[in-house]
Amino acid sequence: MSKNVFVGMSGGVDSSVTALLLSRQGYKVSGVYMKNWTRNIAGFSCPWEEDYRDAKRVAVSLDIPLLVFDFEKQYREKVVNYMIDGYKQGITPNPDIICNQEIKFKLFFDLSMQSGADLIATGHYGRIVKGHLKTAVDQNKDQTYFLYRMSQQSLSKTLMPIGDYKKSEIRNIAKKNNLATATKKDSQGICFIGEVGIKEFLINELGPQPSGPIIDDQQKEVGVHEGAIFYTIGQRHGLNIGGGLPYYVIDKDISKNIVYVSRNLDNPNLWSKEIRLTNFYFTYNNFDYINKKLKVRIRYRGDLIDCDLRVKGDKAFIGLKQAAKAVARGQSAVLYYGQYCIGGGIIV
């Protein structure tokens, strides 16, 4: 008897091909559109209706049902508020990681199981092998950085079939099968919110922020910022300081509304040899990391850096074999052993 698989269908090409591949493999597939955000943001139209229509068109062409799970209230509470609170505190949170943890692999997973699913599936570029998370075949598209907080339970009952393919192959499969999403561009925005940028979103939520001084490492005021919460360590664009070598954000003081910058790429505030983590979590259950050759990634698509790991409860300390530039508090550091994603935590 074929297993029931609920596929999260976002209206994009990756989740469309996920549903197609699993249908061909003999699973009894049901598509699920997660309605997480429907509000327009000043100057940006929320694409949810278009995305839902595209998911519906694909579902019809594959002859599978399409359900709608409404998580808008929970998405606001779990993801959006988390992001806004982080920026207000002066850190750089990653809403995509929390969306995966709280929405896709918790709420969607739980409701799917309650609704008769044996398994769930998503259009993520990653691979799950015997309950362990591995990097995707297409290293340029690998999304395990965003997936490291998946629970052991969800890892045991989740399929990610496109992790075995290159992105170009996924496009070709969609075109050959005349899927409505075959040429649809990938979303670059915040989770489900669309193409809106972080700054525009925060202004829409919090209103314009008070301007303040930009001060260099000689204690000289060199410019005026539009709100300290909008800036992150290592940032060089959007400072609007003309002339000469570029400035980099090296620190900020939220309480005083000051952004600190430097032209010196060797400024010690720009580089880290040790990273402290909180909310540390092992993706690879009971992984014995002692004396293992580990690597860490401190931002999506960032270089993998050789490292040592020490864990104490939900805290962890990572010693880097080479200094890393622009380590931002609030982002995640994610650890790898070969092709396996073994865990990670929030940078403090």
Active site residues: 99, 191
Which structure tokens are listed for 93? Answer: 């949170």
- Taking the CA atoms of the chain, what radius of gyration do you get in angstroms? 21
Residue with tokens 């739980």, as numbered in its chain: 110
Residues 50 and 206: their CA atoms lie apart, in Å, by: 27
Cβ atoms of 259 and 247 within 8 Å: the answer is no
CB 285 within 8 A of CB 239: no
How many angstroms separate the CA atoms of 306 and 163, rounded? 24
Could you give phi then psi for residue 112, rounded to 5 degrees?
Answer: -65, -45
Q: Name which of 26, 303, 338, 335 is nearest 161 in CA terms.
A: 26
Handedness of CA 298, 303, 305, 309 (dihedral sign): positive
Assign 156 to helix, strand or coil: helix
Q: Which residues pair with 190 in a beta bridge?
A: 194
Q: What is the DSSP string of 2-30?
A: PPEEEEE--SSHHHHHHHHHHHHTT-EEE
Q: Any alpha helices (H) in 79-194, and if so which ranges?
A: 81-89, 95-99, 109-114, 152-156, 167-176
What backbone torsions phi and psi does residue 98 show, to the nearest 5 degrees?
Answer: -70, -35
Separation between Cα atoms, residue 246 and residue 143, nearest integer Å: 31
